[in-house]
Structure 1
Amino acid sequence: MSTATRQRKRRPRGKNQRRETLAAFAFLSPWIIGFLVLTAGPMIISLVLSFTNYDGLQETRGVGWDNYEKLLSDPKVRKSLSNTLIYAVMIVPSTMIVSLALASMLSRIGRRSAGVFRTLFYLPEVTPKVAIGVLFLLLFNGQVGMVNWALGLVGIDGPQWSTDEAWVKPGLVLMNLWSVGGTVVIYLAALNNVPRDLYEAADLDGVSRWQRFRHVTVPMISGALFFTLIIQTISALQTFDEAYAAFYGSAASASYSSEAALFYLIYLFQQAFQFLHMGYASAMAWLLFVIIMIITAIQVKVSKRFVYYEGGDR
């Protein structure tokens, strides 16, 4: 076949590839535009503002690294960051354990019943976070809350969930365990994809249920566990809505003075929109971004030893 003939055959394929590429970019363009306008653009602007004294009212001028130096000496930054990290350490494993337990129970019942319960478990996910914060005040009120009333029925004197600093974060953890439906659905899908022949082989070897769970189930769903670990950690470090609605955003919490619920994003919000320290708030946002990146990088690094990927090394 001559060179000219081969070139003529290649031309239509090249045109089709260009058309497919343009069509792909056309379909991706809403996301690309949205990412540039709503995510990348504001991130760049906030990075620039973090080196200024911008407050929206006075003339903006550059302050160099002053905002970042102030972060290191601000006691409320340390307090809010400490509250956030402690809360993350409490809520992430709690969510994963409860979700895995519920998913394991759902995987053992019939498909029709599992569909009903899966829907019921997922419904709290669509509940507004602000509503959950208000519900916290109703259920965990130390005097008239339903939680303490239920504990009183079994002879337990319930704590002051909303005012005792030692119980504020545990109370929020218990409240947020109500909305674990999304994680339950992920774990249920992972459990249903575990090959049945592995369980049959384990039964033939006479292993116990715990050994089968530890050596078969957990390795086979480790990818889903790792995914939810990262997502739940990022979500916990960005906690805002429930705590703000319960402790800072309602008339019932107007007299609340404890800093046990002062999470990092709440303090960032206060600096930006109450005190109008936009430049300082931007520096706080970038500090949180760096912290999340570091924690995620550590999780990815450690996961290489524990996460099993089908067709690859564990």
Structure 2
Amino acid sequence: MKKNSTIKGLLYISPWLVGFLIFTVYPIVMSLYYAFCDFNITTTPRWTGIYNFSKLLSDELFWKSLRNTLVYVAGLVPLGLFVALGVSLLLSVRKLKFVRLFRSIIYMPSIVPAFGFSAVVTLFFHPYMGFVNRIIEFLGIDGPLWLSSEIWVKPTIIIAAQWGVGGAMLIFSAAIKDIPVEFYEAALIDGASRFTMFRKITLPLLTPTILYYLVTSTIGNMQIFDLPMLLTNGGPNNASLSLSMYIYKHAFTYNNMGYASAMSWILFGIIFLITILYFGFSKRFVFYIAE
């Protein structure tokens, strides 16, 4: 009976299993092989060893795209954490009316397709007719060029990306609701202020959710692609070029699949290392409720 149950279970999941093997496992294995080959899609892969990886050391555009990606992560992860946590705390106020409506309004932009969202961002940050610069000019200040400036393009993309903070906001809201009310009642009896309760109760008990956000947000933002691609196509002067965009261009524009595969595995290694560091340091700041 146990054997029959196993066979039936495998049959039920066989569509997903076949798709997983063909569209996930096989591409991963082949990309590792192509990383050590000279392969441009139209020709047979030719083994070249570590040539692609050694070539990366002298590729200035690779290093620039990597620096840009790290800047994106350094800006998007903490700012996204601050915005998502702050909004979820504001919406967790007990006497606040229409909480569900506000949550829906804040969440809705996160499901807008990237193409439509980028069109809105372009209108907002247009250097001459944009809504943001008009407000700044009203205050008597000349607004920057935003997406057309090498200095401002990455901060503009980081700020614009907060439009889609709704998903993280819902996760933090659920985590705040999961904190036992008895903790706050005991703190109120002891005369604790709201700030003290946030620092001593809310924040420590949110640390597992914060860890989850840090890991998933870092992994996602290390692969940032859609906003820089749609808003600037990596410009001006490659100032907004991310590593994922550079990989994409080598793979599907220059047909240099071997070189792109090598960069992909470098990106995977960096993400893997950062994730390990997160989990290593998590023992120092993550707290769980003892059952």
TM-score range with shorter-chain normalisation? over 0.9
Contact 1:133-1:243 within 8 A present in 2 as well: no
Alignment of 1:263 onto 2:242 = yes
Equivalent residue number for residue 31 of structure 1 = 16
1:279 to 239, 258, 262: 258
Q: Once the two structures are superposed, what CA deviation does each residue of 1:14-34 show, in whole Å capped at 9, x if it has no partner?
A: x2x334433433343333222
Equivalent residue number for residue 173 of structure 1 = 158
1:145 to 130, 133, 142: 130
Query: d(CA) in 1 for partners of 2:271 and 2:210?
Result: 18
The CA deviation at 1:72 is: 1.5
Equivalent residue number for residue 122 of structure 1 = 107
Equivalent residue number for residue 236 of structure 1 = 221
CA 1:118–1:257: 2 relative to 1, 3 Å = closer
Query: What letter is aligned with 2:184?
Result: Y
Alignment of 1:298 onto 2:283 = no
Query: d(CA) in 1 for partners of 2:289 and 2:200?
Result: 15
Alignment of 1:51 onto 2:36 = yes
Equivalent residue number for residue 196 of structure 2 = 211
2:231 to 215, 237, 246: 246
Contact 1:163-1:258 within 8 A present in 2 as well: no
Q: Secondary structure at the match of 2:148?
A: coil
Q: Secondary structure at the match of 2:79?
A: helix
Query: What letter is aligned with 1:239?
Result: I
Report how many residues are paired: 291
Query: What letter is aligned with 2:275?
Result: T
Higher radius of gyration, 1 or 2: 1
The CA deviation at 1:111 is: 8.4
Q: Once the two structures are superposed, what CA deviation does each residue of 1:252-305 show, in whole Å capped at 9, x if it has no partner?
A: xxxx54221011011111111111111000001111011100000000111111
The CA deviation at 1:156 is: 3.2
Question: What is the root-mean-square deviation of aligned Cα atoms in Å?
Answer: 1.7
The CA deviation at 1:208 is: 2.2
The CA deviation at 1:126 is: 1.1
CA 1:117–1:109: 2 relative to 1, 3 Å = farther
Alignment of 1:190 onto 2:209 = no
Query: d(CA) in 2 for partners of 1:134 and 1:266?
Result: 19
Query: d(CA) in 1 for partners of 2:8 and 2:92?
Result: 41
Contact 1:132-1:175 within 8 A present in 2 as well: no
Q: Once the two structures are superposed, what CA deviation does each residue of 1:75-100 show, in whole Å capped at 9, x if it has no partner?
A: 11110000000110001011111011
Task: State TM-score, norm by structure 2.
Answer: 0.94
Task: State TM-score, norm by structure 1.
Answer: 0.88
Gap regions ≥5 residues in structure 1: 1-14, 250-255
The CA deviation at 1:64 is: 0.7
Give the percent of matched residue pairs that are identical in Structure 1 and Structure 2.
36
Query: What letter is aligned with 1:83?
Result: N
Q: Secondary structure at the match of 2:70?
A: helix
Contact 2:36-2:48 within 8 A present in 1 as well: yes
